[in-house]
Structure 1
Amino acid sequence: MDRVTDPQLTRRLLLTGAGAAAVAAGLGGCGADGPKRTPQLAGESRPATARPTGSPGPRDEVALRRKIASLLVVGFRGERLAADDWIMKAVREGLGGVILFDRDLQTRERRNIISPDQARALVTSLRDASPGRLIVSIDQEGGRVARLNPENGFPATQSQAQIGATNSTPRTRAWAQTIVQGLTSIGVNLNYAPVVDMNVNPDSPAIGRLERAFSADPDVVVKNATEEIQMHPSSGVKTVLKHFPGSGSATGNTDFAVVDVTRTWNPRELEPFRRLIADGATDSVMAAHLLNKQLDPHRPASLSPAVVTDLLRGQLGWKGPVVSDDMQAVAITSRYGRDQAVALGLEAGMDLLVFANQQVYDTRVVDQTLDTVVDLVRTGRLTEARIDESVARVDALRPPR
């Protein structure tokens, strides 16, 4: 489709029936219907800000750090953990959650999962160490993206593409039940699934080639995603819609490169998100690291107030938690330092920040991120009230006490 050069016009058209047609026709150049945001670009300096009244002093900084820690999900190496491991220390001090992987991206060795019994024991040790309700998360989509798989003693599962091709309600339910049973058998309570990207580009290295999308038809996507999601709550597992605002047309993978979908993305890719949100069918939404200049000319979606706050929360009406994709993905680290990315993500409206520790392995990531966000509150760039909003939203993702 032709690129729309006026992002305000694009946002006005997104949720209307004529929107996709108008964008495809290349409409542009109309006046904006409201004030435009002025994003702060990488490297721009901000004026010095005096410490505001109510910013944390020494006595309440510990409480603030606990709040911030509760908004972080972090990956780690190890099939078993000792009490003095860095991740166990972080969990004891209030880390919000962990993410499990079967293989380590750098070493290619087993990472967290060898067998059902071992994985269950690992999760139990982490949950026992936590003073709160620990989020234990995983990517269990089915097919090639399944951390619980026959290699480590779990049943094989079909891909979302295979399920969508059949488009059979009984088959989708049976498939989803197998996925959920694997999760609950080891104590996972947050699944980064389903993928509701539309299979716009079957050759996409991130979606189409990996058979991660149910279909190019939004009706098929919504039907099968709904069935899958409905199998999770009774087992105490929360779900995450991904990758907002749509990655199906991408020609790259944000884990390994900056990916720009400006010329390939169509507002129709919002349809599954819009319908599933309207139906109250999910627990959270993941913001993608894609650059989409139709929606924000400067920032990737995950760091964009125009995408996360204005579009997802404003126009689509999403009130729940927004989860980041991996904050250490190349799409982010190649353009932003960790501190800047964290600041921009929270300013954009994200709530739960995920550090997979796969692209890099950083045992200091928790403490350094806490230092960053405390400093943002100290200087007034973020308020503690803004942190409290995210804490309240993320609390809904935690398992029962």
Structure 2
Amino acid sequence: MFNRSLTGLLLILAVCIAGCTSAPDTPDAVNRTLDSLTLEEKIGQMLLVGFRGYTVDDDSQIARDIAAGRVGGVILFDRDVALGTSERNIRDPAQVRALTASLQGYAGEIPIFVAVDQEGGAVCRLKESYGFPATVSARSLGDLNDEAATREAGRALAAMVAGSGFNVNFAPVVDLDVNPASPAIGRLNRSFSDNATVVAENARWIIEEHHNLGVMTAIKHFPGHGSAVTDTHAGFTDVTRTWSEEELRPYRDLIGLGLPDMVMTAHVYNANLDPDYPATLSEATVTGILRDRLGYDGVVVTDAMDMGAIHDNYDLRESLRLSINAGCDIFLFANNLVYDEEIAEKAVGIVKSLVESGEISEERIDESCGRVLRLKMRCLAGSPAAP
């Protein structure tokens, strides 16, 4: 296990309370905890990675990364896309519970995020075929647009996620169903509706039911993926001619209610928002729109940095430099479309070198790490890794 000062340990103990909506602000605790971390550990809190295996032990790379403070979170999948197999991390409920507990057990005094994409419907890692309860798609809920039905579905999703040892669900999708044939959203029935009010209301009900069971959520994919005619998993995706300001409305409404724990960026390119970079790498989009215009000061997590739209067009150093300076806080390496067992160690080393060269300021690292710590302090009380 990696070492951290007793001061940081006691501060986390002092501020962790149950629930993600009732904790007071803890700026002093966050700042003192930041002071107890090395630069490498701060960067590690900003990484969330995927890995292979139904179990982990002391010799597993992911276990070593967690114990060394090189990652702040993990994500589990039921399929390995790079290998083209259904053997990855999820086999049955008992195995998943044991795996998530083992992963959390390798964390030091700061618990890790243990995340899953459990939207319901087509994007559902905890599947009925593995012994989990059946789920319904966002589109079917949006068509009903019934608060009781959506809350029931949200409660079932949250119970499944929490009961399996996850503390973050990368859901709900708040993309508008602008293009029903959109390969990543509309075609998979991942959007509640093409109506922004329906999307925001149903997303609110889903989020609140997750919060009731202590599960964090991430609304996605900012600033809107629903009008795209191509898929960012596969490569460059341009929404310049199809995107509209209306796609920001669910974010504005949910941020106004103080509900998002995280906002996930999309890798879509929109020349009207930024003529140079896709949203994940765009300061004009992440800081200019999400933070400055919409007033969001919480955690921003990227969509997977190994997706084609980023991986095929930018090298790792450039994508990390741009996304950090854009205002993103957590960098998701799903390690699924392409696989690199040493991605965490490589990313920490690259970001450290970017700080040392002055291309990223340490204050910028502190800002993101502070947001991550604040969210963990508020929401991860009672974690097995919490002292």
Q: Is the 8 A contact 1:199 1:215 kept in 2?
A: yes
Matched residue type, 1:179: L
Are residues 1:217 and 2:195 paired?
yes
Aligned partner of 2:366: which letter? D
Q: For the residues of structure 2 that align with 1:360 and 1:282, how far apart are their CA atoms?
A: 29
CA-based RMSD = 1.3
Q: Any conservation in 2 of the 1:229–1:281 contact (CA below 8 Å)?
A: yes
Q: Does 1:113 find its partner at 2:90?
A: yes
Tell me which residue corresponds to 1:291.
269
- The match for 1:128 is 105
After TM superposition, give the deviation of residue 62 of structure 1 in Å.
Answer: 8.0
Q: Does 1:195 align with 2:173?
A: yes
In structure 1, C-alpha distance between the alignment counterparts of 2:90 and 2:342, rounded to whole Å:
23
Residue 41 of structure 1 is matched in structure 2 by: none
State the match for 2:125 in structure 1.
147
2:3 matched residue in structure 1: none
**1:195 and 1:243 in contact (8 A); partners too:** yes
Whole-angstrom CA distance in 2 between matches of 1:263 and 1:148 = 36
Match 2:288 to one of 310, 333, 350: 310
**What one-letter code is carried by the residue in structure 2 that aligns with 1:355?**
F
**Aligned twin of 1:383:** 361
Structure 2 residue 46 is matched with structure 1 residue 98: no
What's the counterpart of residue 21 of structure 1? none
1:45-194 residue pairs with structure 2 within 5 A?
Answer: 63-94=38-69, 95-107=71-83, 108-131=85-108, 132-194=110-172
Cα displacement string for residues 35-64 of structure 1 (whole angstroms, at most 9, x for unaligned residues): xxxxxxxxxxxxxxxxxxxxxxxxx99811
1:382 CA displacement = 1.2
Give yes or no for the alignment of 1:274 onto 2:252: yes
Answer whether contact 1:238 1:397 (CA < 8 A) is retained: no
Preserved contact between residue 190 and residue 397 of structure 1 (Cα < 8 Å): no
In 2, are the aligned partners of 1:377 and 1:384 still within 8 Å (CA)?
Answer: yes
Compute the displacement of 1:82 (Å): 2.1
Q: Structure 1 residue 279: deviation in Å?
A: 1.2
> What CA distance in whole angstroms lies between the structure 2 residues aligned with 1:109 and 1:157?
19
Question: What is the CA–CA distance in structure 2 between the aligned matches of 1:283 and 1:110, rounded to whole Å?
Answer: 30
Cα pair 1:142 1:159 within 8 Å, conserved: yes
TM superposition score normalised by structure 2: 0.87
Shift in Å, 1:282: 1.3
The answer on whether the counterparts of 1:83 and 1:89 sit within 8 Å (CA) in structure 2 is yes
Larger mean Cα displacement after TM superposition, 324-333 or 273-282 = 273-282
- Partners of 2:375 and 2:118 lie apart in 1 by 17
Deviates more, 1:234-243 or 1:206-215: 234-243
Alignment match, 2:182 = 204
Look up the equivalent residue of 1:85 and give its one-letter code. S
Q: Which amino acid aligns with 2:76?
A: L
Compute the displacement of 1:393 (Å): 0.7
Question: 1:234 and 1:178 mapped to 2: Cα distance?
Answer: 12
Amino acid in the other structure paired with 1:207:
I
Deviation at 1:109, TM superposition (A): 2.5
Distance 2:97 2:58 in 1: 17
Where has structure 1 moved over 6 Å in runs of 4 or more? Answer: none
Match of 2:23 in 1: none
Distance in structure 2 (CA, Å) of the matches to 1:333 and 1:200: 26
Aligned residue among 308, 312, 321 for 1:334: 312
Match of 2:16 in 1: none
SS of the residue corresponding to residue 296 of structure 2 reads coil
Gaps of 5+ in 2: 1-34
Percent sequence identity is 45
Instruction: Kindly provide the CA deviation profile for residues 257-286 of structure 1, in whole angstroms up to 9, marking residues without a partner as x.
Output: 110000111111111111111111211111
Write the letter of the residue equivalent to 1:140.
Q
Give CA deviations for 1:163-194 in whole Å, capped at 9, x if unaligned: 00001111001101110111011110011111
Q: 1:254 aligns with which of 214, 229, 232?
A: 232
Task: Kindly name which structure, 1 or 2, has the bigger radius of gyration based on alpha carbons.
Answer: 1
The TM-score with structure 1 as length reference comes to: 0.84
The structural deviation recorded for 1:106 is 2.0
Q: How many residues align?
A: 342
Distance 1:389 1:77, change over 3 A: same
Equivalent residues of 1:135, 1:397 under 8 A apart = no
Higher-RCO chain (CA-CA 8 Å, sequence separation at least 6): 2
Secondary structure of the 2:303 match is strand
Q: How much does 1:91 deviate?
A: 0.7
In structure 1, give the amino acid aligned to 2:245: P
The alignment partner of 1:367 has SS state of helix
